[in-house]
Amino acid sequence: MTDRREMRELVTPARAREAIGNFEAPAGTETVRVERASGRVLAEPIDAGIDVPGFDRASMDGYAVRARETAGAGEMDPIELRVVDRLAAGERPETAVEAGTAVEIATGAVLPEGADAVVMIERCEARGETVAVERAVAPGANVMSAGSDVAAGDRALSAGTRLAPRTIGLLAAIGRETVPVRTAPTVGILPTGDELVAPGSELSPAEGEIYDVNGTTLANAVRETGGEPLRYGILPDDESEMRETLSRAAAECDLLLTAGSTSAGSGDVLYRLVEANGELTIHGVSIKPGKPTIVGRYDGTPLVGLPGYPVSALSIFRLLVGPTLREWAGTDRDAATVTGRLARTERYDEGRHRAVPVGLVRDGSDDLLVYPVDRGSGATTSLAYADGVVEMAADTRRLDAGETVTVELFSTSDRPPELLAVGERDPGFLAAIDGIDRTRYRTLGSTGGQRWLADGIADVAVVTGENSFESTAETLGCWTREWGLLLADGIDVDGVAALADGDYRFVNRSRGSGLQEAFEAVIDGSDDPEGIREKIDGYGIGTHGIESAARRIERGSADVGLGLATTADRLGLGFQGLGVQPVSVFAAADRVEKPAVGRLADRLDDERLFEGLTGYAVD
Amino acid sequence: MTDRREMRELVTPARAREAIGNFEAPAGTETVRVERASGRVLAEPIDAGIDVPGFDRASMDGYAVRARETAGAGEMDPIELRVVDRLAAGERPETAVEAGTAVEIATGAVLPEGADAVVMIERCEARGETVAVERAVAPGANVMSAGSDVAAGDRALSAGTRLAPRTIGLLAAIGRETVPVRTAPTVGILPTGDELVAPGSELSPAEGEIYDVNGTTLANAVRETGGEPLRYGILPDDESEMRETLSRAAAECDLLLTAGSTSAGSGDVLYRLVEANGELTIHGVSIKPGKPTIVGRYDGTPLVGLPGYPVSALSIFRLLVGPTLREWAGTDRDAATVTGRLARTERYDEGRHRAVPVGLVRDGSDDLLVYPVDRGSGATTSLAYADGVVEMAADTRRLDAGETVTVELFSTSDRPPELLAVGERDPGFLAAIDGIDRTRYRTLGSTGGQRWLADGIADVAVVTGENSFESTAETLGCWTREWGLLLADGIDVDGVAALADGDYRFVNRSRGSGLQEAFEAVIDGSDDPEGIREKIDGYGIGTHGIESAARRIERGSADVGLGLATTADRLGLGFQGLGVQPVSVFAAADRVEKPAVGRLADRLDDERLFEGLTGYAVD
């Protein structure tokens, strides 16, 4: 790490946004069919080439007449006219209306020569060959004159109009089949990193491989702004390969978006390549997350280098790149925002502009609550648990609970969840929420669930162990689950003493989880707790997921793991029971009326819910 | 019209919406690639099958160590360790960290066996074969443990999630390449009417033909709700053909949407067909516009018959059908709405639920103003001038100016215009706004322009004739335009007397237009005004558009028309000048700071603006 370089002077987010905004907009036009033009932006004004309607048109069913002949007509003294023709919509009038005559006419039909008004059918009495008109009409009555809807030469739609069903209808009315629209800006998507593997391919965790997230996320985010993403695969941290791909993308795109490889470590070749083959305008932005953002050009094409962590990359895209892309595509003045009440005070002292990832939940009054989601920018799940970001200026040190804040949503497609559940991981609870749309289930352990419920954020909490829940919360359901040791094929361990004495590679659960606490209690009840803890090989290896230990046994990297009877059954592992543990679900008092909470209560009342789950029982 | 039938009892809009909502939802699932899944709705919950990360991962550049060995380390008394390996992201660790050793490690790399923490690079000093660690770390420091981001067995995403870039990123992280999503409901689009012609085809106005608007509008509106429109062309009002097409569509679709042919006139066969081949549940809704709406089934398939007028059809779709389609598609809880301040009092006494078409404009403070657009539901242009509807309950007789109202937008793609111009039709003004995106130009004559400006709705007014504008409005520009007689090939008319005396088919402009008023003034100045008016053949034929008269001459249905020199020049017609007329553009005092008004002022300052317009002059 001898050639390690520091970043240059950090610039403000506003300065970075301005630099990106100053890139020249691509100026392309293409012709598309009106039928599929929704969401596209007109490149030119459209003027009507025809009158709509193109003829004087009956706007009522009735009789076409000469208005002056109806003067004085009334119910008591109708005026009788001879009916000389019948006209339906889409028919060419063959007979003129002359003195003493009328033509029966349907809505939409062409007003025949000689007529200048229509008497509506309700004011006429048909008498065979004649009609008795019972009301006088003025010239033009019930007639839509030619061009009165759209007149030839009128501006039908302005340039810059984002086409929608109604405006597309107007284009149809003037007979347009195709329209010129602005070309979508093309954006090259270039995630970098030797450790990245495309989703769907085989993954080798032992070699430190992870699935690439940014390529997929950014492609979809670009498409949402109205841009056209072009994928160039995953760039390895290899200088010559990177140079070749960047050159190709620069020739084909209006903007290049890389992700990762932008910090100043020795493995980060991107910024040096940009310096050598273009210009590096900005290297580092004073924002958290997102500091290692770069802005420049490669072979003359604008380039923004986003940080590698998915939440950072999407936040920076949202704040700095999105506005310019939407302007180029002409799709929107602003991206989607919502306002809500902050549920928890958020403090920050570093004096750096911050984009705080936040989640949303509706409270009992259907108002939006906003809560900070801090799992660190490296966590992919911040993507799943955060609905958007709240910006905190560099000189803002706290946002108080109860304050109204504006949330910049990651996407216009995103919707807040209908149900927010926090607490212990439990397959029984998973089964319960299977039938409830848009549930967010954050697994932060029993104490996490209790805290989030007490803080007025979570709708429901999932708690294991004896019920020590002191609040006004309502119990929606409780059951027990059997837990114990998951066993690899051929392994037989009958308790914690045998586990300590044998030569087994064990996998524990993470500290604070319900299973780990139950396991501790069993060890504490044994003859030699300290000795057992000392002797279990892997006692310190805490895994997070309810299935993580089982997956390790499946992969052959462990022999015994802590887990549930139902997991052993589902994944075909051996099992040695060590106990049963109660699980309870509580709802916050002010949320019991929420429709999704009601659905959950119904699900939990259903006795068949746990039928497929080995070791589950409802009292 | 002997078998004319009255509609059955009208039902409330709420009842009609409920009937449509009670149709059974189609229950289909399809598998799509994650890459293109944005906006689609998950059909099933997705649980993580792997831990993310799949290994203990360095979250900083630095040195992987045994935490306990760093106890007591500080800047003054660093602890020296032997560096036994270097690890980059994506590399498999080959060397374990044993007592007294460390491994140099990059962010994202796999923590080697034996190590349980990372000391960040800034707290270390490399000394060739060794490293001096200047800070003590706890076990787990700067390490993201396996599964800490997403744990195997965790619920990644709930069923019903509308996928967006961030949630798609999560699917990528757990390696999903495809996901099960809800099938888009298929909706058959069936506009009916003998007079309808598909846009792009030849139109014969003499036979009363008009372009079909509803097919295109509804197809796009359906697509926007998340449905898949299927087109079946235009249905003629012919019973057997209609029956055949409806049967085919019923077999292929989840819902049928017809437009037109739903009122009770003799030409309206649709409702009788529905009665004969299915059931007619609702025939008539107490709402304006949209009374002749029908709801029922055809061959068992749900059917909604929308009225034929485009604005009515789209309003009813928006209010009654859209909510159910969005629910079926799972796309949205609600459609797009905005709130704004009503600019004019709206009265209505008929006691029928009303959907008032309204336009939007931003006032000088960037607040949304809402103004009713009443051109009658038959006008296609209501589609272009209205951004949405405001609902008025049956018992609401007035909405007061200044009241805050909720506007149900016709589309999520719609955006309010940036500039609202009202007034006289003028090609010079058209040239000025050519360069200004999202301009709405309503041609309601000079008095209309002045009224809309005085009412605080229009940003700018276009006014012809001498400036009689009394207000605080600011003049943005003024010019003169030459006007006179447009002449067919071979026709030569040197003034109004010659026009009256000769045998010409004349086309006038509509009353109240600037040109018609100038023409009246010239006739008034002649020797025999009354005689001239009497003798001109077509004096009473008022056309709306600036080019409507010229188009009639082009078609051979007129010899002489009232128009502008520039129109004659543009369309290659002869021209006899009768005068020049001043045109002025005024901006409302509180709108001069609007960006689009500023752009318009700049355009009007440009001397080259009228260069291509014959007969135009700036003083």
Write out the DSSP string of B195-235.
TEE-TTS---GGGT-EE--HHHHHHHHHHHHT-EEEE---B
- Of the pLDDT bands very low, low, confident and very high (cuts 50, 70, 90), residue A332 is low
Question: Of A573 and A239, which is predicted with more confidence?
Answer: A573
Separation CA A355–CA A391 (nearest Å): 5
Q: Verify whether the Cβ–Cβ distance B164 to A413 is below 8 Å.
A: yes
Question: Minimal CA–CA distance to B43: which of B177, B153, B179, B185?
Answer: B179
Q: Mutating which of A55, A216, A291, A377 best tests the B interface, going by the most B Cβ atoms within 10 A?
A: A216
Q: Verify whether the Cβ–Cβ distance A216 to B171 is below 8 Å.
A: yes
The b-or-e profile of A250-264 (16+ CB within 10 A means b, else e) is beebbbbbbbbbbbb
Closest Cα in chain B, distance from residue A82 (Å):
16
When mean pLDDT is compared across A261-275, B180-194, B524-538, B586-600, the lowest value belongs to: A261-275
- CB < 8 Å to B542, chain A: 145
What digits encode the pLDDT tens for the residues B461-503? 999 987 555 567 899 999 999 999 999 999 999 999 999 999 9
Separation CA B50–CA A528 (nearest Å): 35
What pLDDT shows up at residue A266?
Answer: 47
Tokens (6 digits) for A50 = 């025809």
- Of the pLDDT bands very low, low, confident and very high (cuts 50, 70, 90), residue B538 is confident
Report the 10 Å Cβ neighbour count for A303.
30
Question: Alpha helices of A253-362 — where are they, by DSSP H?
Answer: 270-277, 310-316, 322-329
Question: Of A336 and B191, which is predicted with more confidence?
Answer: B191
Chain-centre distance for alpha carbon A412: 6
| Distances, alpha carbon B192 to alpha carbons A290, B168, B235, B372, in Å | 56, 41, 4, 29
- CB < 8 Å to B217, chain A: 165-166, 168-169, 172
Chain-centre distance for alpha carbon A164: 21
Which residue of B196, B411, B542 is in closest CB contact with A165? B411
- CB < 8 Å to B2, chain A: 126
- Of the pLDDT bands very low, low, confident and very high (cuts 50, 70, 90), residue A172 is very high
Stated as kind and residue range, the H or E segment containing A209 is none
Does B331 score more than 50 pLDDT?
yes
Q: Verify whether the Cβ–Cβ distance A1 to B171 is below 8 Å.
A: no
What pLDDT shows up at residue A360?
Answer: 94
What pLDDT shows up at residue B262?
Answer: 59
Which residue of A89, A126, A410 is in closest CB contact with B1? A126
Separation CA A517–CA A579 (nearest Å): 12
Q: Can you tell me the mean pLDDT for A273-288?
A: 92
Q: Mutating which of B167, B216, B407 best tests the A interface, going by the most A Cβ atoms within 10 A?
A: B216
Does B519 score more than 90 pLDDT?
yes
When mean pLDDT is compared across A331-340, A353-362, B197-206, B311-320, the lowest value belongs to: A331-340
Residue with tokens 């019903």: B160
When mean pLDDT is compared across A344-358, A372-386, B168-182, the lowest value belongs to: A372-386
Q: What percent of chain B lies above the pLDDT cut of 70?
A: 95
Separation CA B481–CA B615 (nearest Å): 5
Tokens (6 digits) for A82 = 């001879």
- CB < 8 Å to A567, chain B: 153
What pLDDT shows up at residue B415?
Answer: 78
Phi and psi at residue A282, in whole multiples of 5°? -130, 130
Does A398 score more than 80 pLDDT?
yes
What pLDDT shows up at residue A395?
Answer: 87
Report the 10 Å Cβ neighbour count for B590.
13
Q: Verify whether the Cβ–Cβ distance B194 to A89 is below 8 Å.
A: yes
Q: Mutating which of A2, A121, A166, A441 best tests the B interface, going by the most B Cβ atoms within 10 A?
A: A166
Q: Can you tell me the mean pLDDT for B565-593?
A: 95
Does B325 score more than 60 pLDDT?
yes
Q: Verify whether the Cβ–Cβ distance A545 to B415 is below 8 Å.
A: no
Going B396 to B401 to B402 to B408, the CA torsion angle's sign is positive
Radius of gyration of chain B (CA): 35
What pLDDT shows up at residue A587?
Answer: 95
- CB < 8 Å to A438, chain B: 158, 160-161
* Cis, bond preceding B13 (omega within 30 deg of 0): no
Q: Can you tell me the mean pLDDT for A570-583?
A: 96
Chain-centre distance for alpha carbon A442: 18
Count of pairs with CB atoms under 8 A, one residue in A, one in B:
476
Cβ(A162)–Cβ(A330) under 8 Å?
A: yes
At residue A336, the 3 state secondary structure works out as: coil
Q: Can you tell me the mean pLDDT for A398-420?
A: 88
Q: Verify whether the Cβ–Cβ distance A547 to B151 is below 8 Å.
A: yes
- CB < 8 Å to B261, chain A: none
Q: Verify whether the Cβ–Cβ distance A158 to B550 is below 8 Å.
A: no
- CB < 8 Å to B415, chain A: 162, 332-333
Q: Verify whether the Cβ–Cβ distance B433 to A45 is below 8 Å.
A: yes
Q: Can you tell me the mean pLDDT for A120-145?
A: 92
What pLDDT shows up at residue B541?
Answer: 77
Does A366 score more than 80 pLDDT?
yes
Average pLDDT value over all residues in chain A = 90
Which residue of A332, A435, A545 is in closest CB contact with B147? A545
Does A571 score more than 70 pLDDT?
yes
What pLDDT shows up at residue A467?
Answer: 58
Phi-psi region of B366 (alpha: psi -120 to 50; beta: other; left: phi over 0): left
What pLDDT shows up at residue A550?
Answer: 92
Q: Verify whether the Cβ–Cβ distance B216 to A169 is below 8 Å.
A: yes
Give the pTM: 0.82
Q: Residue B107: closest CA among chain A residues belongs to which residue?
A: A265
Q: Can you tell me the mean pLDDT for B595-613?
A: 93
Q: Can you tell me the mean pLDDT for A335-356?
A: 86
Which residue of A153, A203, A376 is in closest CB contact with B175? A203
- Of the pLDDT bands very low, low, confident and very high (cuts 50, 70, 90), residue A557 is confident
Q: Verify whether the Cβ–Cβ distance B154 to A545 is below 8 Å.
A: yes
Q: Verify whether the Cβ–Cβ distance B170 to A215 is below 8 Å.
A: no
Closest Cα in chain A, distance from residue B50 (Å):
8
DSSP summary character for residue B291: T
Separation CA A580–CA A480 (nearest Å): 6
Phi-psi region of A501 (alpha: psi -120 to 50; beta: other; left: phi over 0): alpha
- CB < 8 Å to A208, chain B: 55, 57, 87, 89-92, 108-110
- Of the pLDDT bands very low, low, confident and very high (cuts 50, 70, 90), residue A5 is very low
What pLDDT shows up at residue A560?
Answer: 96
Tell me the one-letter amino acid at A301.
Answer: T
Q: Verify whether the Cβ–Cβ distance B380 to A169 is below 8 Å.
A: yes
Q: At what angle do helices A214-225 and B165-173 cross, to 10 degrees?
A: 160
Question: Minimal CA–CA distance to A456: which of A418, A391, A402?
Answer: A402
Separation CA A410–CA B162 (nearest Å): 13
Tokens (6 digits) for A246 = 């960047």
Q: Can you tell me the mean pLDDT for A199-228?
A: 92
Residue with tokens 């990528």: B172
- Those residues whose C-beta lies under 8 Å from the C-beta of residue B534, and which sit 6 or more positions away, are none
What pLDDT shows up at residue B332?
Answer: 66
- Of the pLDDT bands very low, low, confident and very high (cuts 50, 70, 90), residue A3 is very low
Q: Can you tell me the mean pLDDT for A516-540?
A: 92
Question: Minimal CA–CA distance to B235: which of B306, B146, B315?
Answer: B306
Q: Residue B6: closest CA among chain A residues belongs to which residue?
A: A122
Q: Can you tell me the mean pLDDT for B46-65?
A: 91
Q: Mutating which of A31, A361, A413, A462 best tests the B interface, going by the most B Cβ atoms within 10 A?
A: A413
Separation CA B476–CA B498 (nearest Å): 39
Which residue of B201, B217, B510 is in closest CB contact with A169? B217
Does B243 score more than 50 pLDDT?
yes
Which residue of B155, B165, B177 is in closest CB contact with A221? B165
Does A382 score more than 90 pLDDT?
no
Query: Mind giving me the DSSP string for B15-66?
Result: HHHHHHHTSPPP--EEEEEGGG-TT-BBSS-EE-SS-BSSS-EE-SSEEEE-
- CB < 8 Å to A171, chain B: 199, 216
Cβ(B182)–Cβ(B28) under 8 Å?
A: yes
- CB < 8 Å to B229, chain A: none
Closest Cα in chain B, distance from residue A400 (Å):
27
Tell me the one-letter amino acid at A525.
Answer: G
Does B1 score more than 80 pLDDT?
no
Q: Verify whether the Cβ–Cβ distance A199 to B172 is below 8 Å.
A: yes
What pLDDT shows up at residue A495?
Answer: 93
